[in-house]
Amino acid sequence: MRFTPATLPLLAVLLAAGSLAGCASPLEEAARRAPAELPGLSDSQLRHCAGEPVAKNREGADELWSYFRETSRSATATSDVGYTPTARGSSSYEYFRHCEAVFRLRGGRVVAVELNGRTATGRPAPEPCGAIVETCLRLKGR
């Protein structure tokens, strides 16, 4: 392809769009940052930003606080199968994502964060985890 002055703006737009296509959502980004940035939070700060845990367990001197988030989205799939317009169609369905976030506390402070976000079929899905930790990241950033 030969580039002319008229095609350069189009090329710039295409390159910018391509670089943005791989960007993570804000919730994915929050889930990625949480294990490195949230250790050090106090138990009262964690309770303030994430709420009451759904479960608390002990492992030696450590407390494990567990949080769970489930989300669902509606989607529509369109089928191109079939040789006539009546054989084609679309169907709507719900798909679920969930996250279990476990905060390990020692001496009243978070020492580790483990996030496990998955879809109903077992594929990684960090967004529900980001929804659990995003407020905590803002609190820690103050």
pLDDT of residue 96: 81
Bridge partners of 97, per DSSP, are: 71, 119
Which of 13, 40, 22 has its CA nearest to residue 141?
40
Mean pLDDT of 101-116: 98
Which of 67, 65, 138, 127 has its CA nearest to residue 96?
127
The dihedrals phi and psi of 69, each to the nearest 5 degrees, come to: -135, 135
Q: Give per-residue pLDDT as tens, 61-101.
A: 999 999 999 887 665 655 555 555 555 555 555 568 899 99
pLDDT of residue 114: 97
For the record, the structure tokens of 26 come out as 């804000």
Q: Give per-residue pLDDT as tens, 127-139.
A: 999 999 999 999 9
Q: Can you tell me the distance from the alpha carbon of 18 to that of 35, in angstroms, rounded to the nearest whole number?
A: 29
pLDDT of residue 72: 75
Q: With contact defined as beta carbons under 8 Å apart, do 128 and 97 qualify?
A: yes
Q: With contact defined as beta carbons under 8 Å apart, do 109 and 7 qualify?
A: no
